[in-house]
Amino acid sequence: MPLKIAIVGRPNVGKSTLFNRLVGRKVALVDDRPGVTRDRRTGEGSLGGLEFALIDTAGLDDADASSLEGRMRRQTEAAIEEADLCLFMVDARAGVTPVDRHFAAIVRRKGKPVIVLANKAEGRGGENVQEAYALGLGDPIAISAEHGEGLDELYHALLSASLGEAGEDLEAPGEGEETAAHRPLRLAIIGRPNAGKSTLVNALLGEERMLTGPEAGITRDSIATDWSFEGQPIKLWDTAGLRKKARVHDRLEKLSVADALRAIRFSEVVILVVDAESPFEKQDLQIADLVEQEGRALVVALNKWDRVENKQARLRELQLTLSESLPQLRGLPMVAVSALRRQNLDKLMQAAVSAYALWNRRIATSALNRWLEEMVERHPPPAPGGRRIKIRYMTQSNARPPTFVVFCSNAKDLPESYTRYLVNGLRDVFGFPGIPIRLVLRQTKNPYASRGRA
């Protein structure tokens, strides 16, 4: 008997989106409106070579038993009874709601093994992931069902779940099968029109895969190609050039730009191709800032370097310009290349693979708090209005990008300059050059606040 897994949670947390991704095709209807799924839907799912029976359920809703929502809830509870394992989903952007807590208690009473998934955690969406600990169902896993992020952690959680006799059906993939750890690195090549993106893709692939030419705007679609670099499988996207929004009027170009932006959101590492003859124009910096906002690892490819004279002095000048123009990505790696002459391409790819490793990196909580204590001693937080801000402890709640949570008193009063001080310290001490870092402030609760005076 194959392992049965039920996906449960309140409405509109992304259950059907995850169901479709694990099944491998769009079976369940997906919409922004809550309550689209009403009946149980079953399918054969797989992840990294693991195969299982999957049950998509209606959103749990606290409603009268005789109502439509009440009947939908009974269907969901029946699916929980039938399943060997439950994936309990919450919305990482909204955080844990009272409805989540209510139905987490129901799932806990069923006595089935549970894995908590904090969905919609892409970009800045993962700031509330740590709230899912309050459900009492174990460590939450931050995922994005829409973008396929976090599935490697889900794979390992499924593989190591203690399911008794039912767990015997959950076996590791055989030799030659793709595991989550060996999924392709998703790499997008972006930049302004005519910066040499398609030429760079052709040079990396070693063939004329993309149409190139002196005219700007040849590439319209975001073209994905499977490739490998030093044994690392890579899904490589060539994208349309991104111009200033005010200059984009043609409907086809608007679609091309939308496709390129979608490729950035689906990627894990982005290579920004910059024309060395006219580098770091305002549009280049805006594209880099967009990648940082999406939380993707970034590498700058300074293309057409063969045309530059006095290379060493020019490179130092451009590195200084880059650090001053993008302080939020201090230490951003920049590699001078010539796509046409195929120069320094290995160095560029090594920088991309290194950025991917740092983007996935996790720091131990003990090391973080030793570092935090030193940072606070060196430069104590200010006391706005005479109220001292006490920084208590810190933990890393997520990777991809690295996300850290600082628990302190009067969190809303901590100035942005102090958070930048902490972020820059994290970047320097733990080695996150050019990697987007998210720092989330959380207010610690006073356990005596609700008590009266003695």
Query: CA 395 to CA 326: how far, in whole Å?
Result: 26
Average pLDDT over residues 194-223: 66
What is the architecture, at CATH level 2, of domain 365-443?
Answer: 2-Layer Sandwich (3.30)
Residue length of the chain: 454
pLDDT tops 50 at residue 168: no
Domain ranges of the chain: 4-169, 184-359, 365-443
Q: Categorize the per-residue pLDDT at 84 as very low, low, confident or very high, splitting at 50, 70 and 90.
A: confident
CATH code for the domain defined by 4-169: 3.40.50.300
pLDDT digits (tens, 9 = 90+) for 314-337: 999 999 999 999 999 989 999 999
Average pLDDT over residues 51-61: 76
Task: Look at the domain 184-359 and name its fold.
Answer: Rossmann fold (3.40.50)
Which range, 65-79, 114-128, 269-283, is most confident?
Answer: 269-283
Neighbours of 234 (CB within 10 A): 21
Query: CA 20 to CA 5: how far, in whole Å?
Result: 14
Query: CA 126 to CA 295: how far, in whole Å?
Result: 11
What is the model's pLDDT at position 149? 85
pLDDT digits (tens, 9 = 90+) for 169-201: 444 444 334 444 457 899 999 988 888 888 898
pLDDT digits (tens, 9 = 90+) for 416-452: 999 999 999 999 999 999 899 999 998 876 555 555 5
What is the model's pLDDT at position 71? 53
184-359: same fold as 4-169?
A: yes
Neighbours of 193 (CB within 10 A): 17
- Asked if 235 contacts 229 with a C-beta cutoff of 8 angstroms, the reply is no
Q: Categorize the per-residue pLDDT at 33 as very low, low, confident or very high, splitting at 50, 70 and 90.
A: very low
pTM of the model: 0.62
Q: Categorize the per-residue pLDDT at 1 as very low, low, confident or very high, splitting at 50, 70 and 90.
A: low
Q: Which helix (H) or strand (E) covers residue 188, if one does? A: strand 185-191
Q: Round the average pLDDT of the chain to a whole number and report it.
A: 80
pLDDT digits (tens, 9 = 90+) for 233-267: 998 887 776 766 555 545 554 555 666 677 788 88
Q: Which residues pair with 227 in a beta bridge?
A: 234
pLDDT tops 70 at residue 30: no
Query: CA 71 to CA 249: how far, in whole Å?
Result: 50
| H helix intervals, 48-196 | 68-82, 98-110, 151-160
Q: Categorize the per-residue pLDDT at 453 as very low, low, confident or very high, splitting at 50, 70 and 90.
A: low
Tell me how far apart the terminal alpha carbons of the chain are, to the nearest angstrom. Answer: 62
Query: CA 349 to CA 117: how far, in whole Å?
Result: 32
Query: CA 307 to CA 386: how far, in whole Å?
Result: 58
